[in-house]
Amino acid sequence: MTQVFKFGGASIQDAAAIRRLGELLARFRVRPLVVVVSAMGKTTNALEALLAAARDGEADDYRDRLESLRREHLATVEALFGANAGPVAERVEALITELDRRHRRHAGRERPFHYDQTVCFGELLSTTIVSAWLNEVGMATEWLDARELVATDDCHQAANVDWAATAERVRGLDSDDGRIRVTQGFVGGTAEGVSTTLGREGSDFSAAILAHCLDAEEVTIWKDVPGLFNADPRRFDNAVQLERISYDEAIELAWHGAKVIHPKTLRPLQRKAIPLTVRSFQDLEAPPSTIGRDTRFDTRTPSLMLREAQTLLEIRPRDFAFMDEPRQHDILGRLVEAGLHAGLIDSGAMRLSLCLDGHPERLEPLVASLCDDFAVERHDNLALLTVRHGNEALLSALSSGRDSLAERRNADTAQRLFPGDQCQGTWHIPY
Ligand code: ADP
Ligand code: ASP
Ligand code: MG
């Protein structure tokens, strides 16, 4: 049965990292194997900046940004292939030329469409280099265009997967001819062949889509951490690794902001009971985390998620009305239209409170529209802490010295919203 490996930007950020990836794949010789790869390092951010320069900026800025993307990818190719760099460098040059051509061709189209036609080049470039490098070190590969594999609708920047069409398109990819199949994460394509993307950080989801459609045996996502922790180890100095948790629990953690796994990744795997392993590409001996059906370990350790740069909107009717269902329906409808997610929703007789990611492009039009019809009080720069399976003592120790601006609680989840400036720096979990 097929295995799916996914490598994120950090694991292929430069020539040294791509070499290590080759060594890793030489060691884990599973077949059939599909390898899903993100864009190198921070290339997607660079492509977003390139798009902004093309649409709203100076022509020189666009030129400089395109040139540095070209230079960085070519430098990696030269560092890897040395005297043999020619053919791969030519392919990289061709992709950069195509990127430039598409930018110009689509400059007049709506932004989300233009975004997808250009930002997908990060993954097209990285997979071209990675696939060629694996060949160079003796592994046969087949480079596959994810736009022809992952079938989606045309909801640009957040495309919805057509599962039946994708299953049809990937048929045969699980045949064992010894070759590693290398494809792009994050990227899909419509029935008409138009490029789409699945949302930022969507490569984990791509791996799950392919695994689901191929009835894979297992998905492994290789990270710069040994596995899934009960809090972000970069922010919480005594976070502990969760070696085994269930799909449901992992979905809750991802949904509430554990940035290690894209929230959409787990459902397609759960449906087919395909285990997900999260492990380190830096320390191959480190015990990984496994997400599967077993629920026995879910409540043993409290988990903490911190979402920063949040905005709280307290929305009240202007007249004598209550915040009744029709008004809530109206407000939540506008939220959906703005493409925003509320990490916390709380209501009272005359108030609806929403805690939103402070995503300015989407938030400002929403606030403007709400202000037309409601009294809106706004608080910016907040931090939303979510605790799963925490007891009262833990919650009050975490809240000590911090002002709670809103909260919500049910049997296993507690959320509190604090001023962002009270949440900076490294946290210590008072177990
Ligand atoms: P990718 O290379 O796949 O893009 P990410 O950078 O998105 O990987 O995810 C890895 C990072 O996720 C880690 O460096 C870590 O700081 C962060 N992270 C956040 N929450 C958690 C958690 N609960 N467990 C492990 N890592 C976490
Ligand atoms: N390259 C995309 C991003 O940076 C997708 C991913 O890395 O998962 O968002
Ligand atoms: Mg990432």
Rounded to whole angstroms, how far apart are CA atoms 323 and 77? 59
Instruction: Determine the pLDDT at residue 344.
Output: 94
Lowest mean pLDDT among 173-177, 251-255, 279-283: 173-177
Per-residue pLDDT of 96-117, as tens digits, reads 999 999 988 998 999 999 999 9
Domains of the chain are 3-223 (3.40.1160.10), 304-422 (3.30.2130.10)
Lowest mean pLDDT among 11-20, 48-57, 232-241, 376-385: 48-57
Distances (CA, A) of 174 to 178, 179, 203: 10, 10, 20
Instruction: Determine the pLDDT at residue 327.
Output: 97
Ligand 1 site-directed mutation target among 45, 201, 204, 225, most atoms within 8 Å of CB: 225
Atom of ligand 2 nearest to the CA of 9: 7
Ligand 2 site-directed mutation target among 200, 222, 281, most atoms within 8 Å of CB: 200
Per-residue pLDDT of 20-67, as tens digits, reads 999 999 999 999 999 999 999 999 999 999 999 988 888 899 999 999
Find out whether the beta carbon of 402 lies less than 6 Å from any atom of ligand 2. Answer: no
Tell me: pLDDT of 5 over 90: yes
Centroid of ligand 3 to alpha carbon of 322 (angstroms): 43
Phi, psi (deg, nearest 5) at residue 89: -60, -40
Instruction: Determine the pLDDT at residue 372.
Output: 97
Instruction: Determine the pLDDT at residue 56.
Output: 84
Centroid of ligand 2 to alpha carbon of 350 (angstroms): 41
**Rounded mean pLDDT, 291-318:** 96
Question: Two tokens at 426?
Answer: 């490294």
Per-residue pLDDT of 265-276, as tens digits, reads 999 999 999 999
Q: What angle do CA 10, 11, 16 make, to 5 degrees?
A: 105
Tell me: pLDDT of 181 over 90: yes
Task: Give the rounded percent of residues in the chain with a pLDDT score beyond 70.
Answer: 100
What pTM was computed for the model? 0.96
Tell me: pLDDT of 262 over 90: yes
Cβ-based burial of 72 (10 A; exposed 0-12, middle 13-18, buried ≥19): middle
**Rounded mean pLDDT, 298-323:** 95
Ligand 1 site-directed mutation target among 123, 221, 260, most atoms within 8 Å of CB: 260
Instruction: Determine the pLDDT at residue 361.
Output: 84
Centroid of ligand 3 to alpha carbon of 426 (angstroms): 21
Residues near 157 by Cβ (< 8 Å), separated by ≥ 6? 112, 115, 116, 197, 199
Instruction: Determine the pLDDT at residue 252.
Output: 97
Residues near 307 by Cβ (< 8 Å), separated by ≥ 6? 256, 257, 343, 357, 383, 384, 386
Residue nearest to atom 3 of ligand 2 (CA): 201
Tell me: pLDDT of 389 over 90: yes
Rounded to whole angstroms, how far apart are CA atoms 418 and 403? 6
Closest among 239, 262, 238 to 250, alpha carbons compared = 262
Would you state the torsion angle of the CA atoms of residues 416, 422, 424, 429, taken in this order, to the nearest 10 degrees? -60
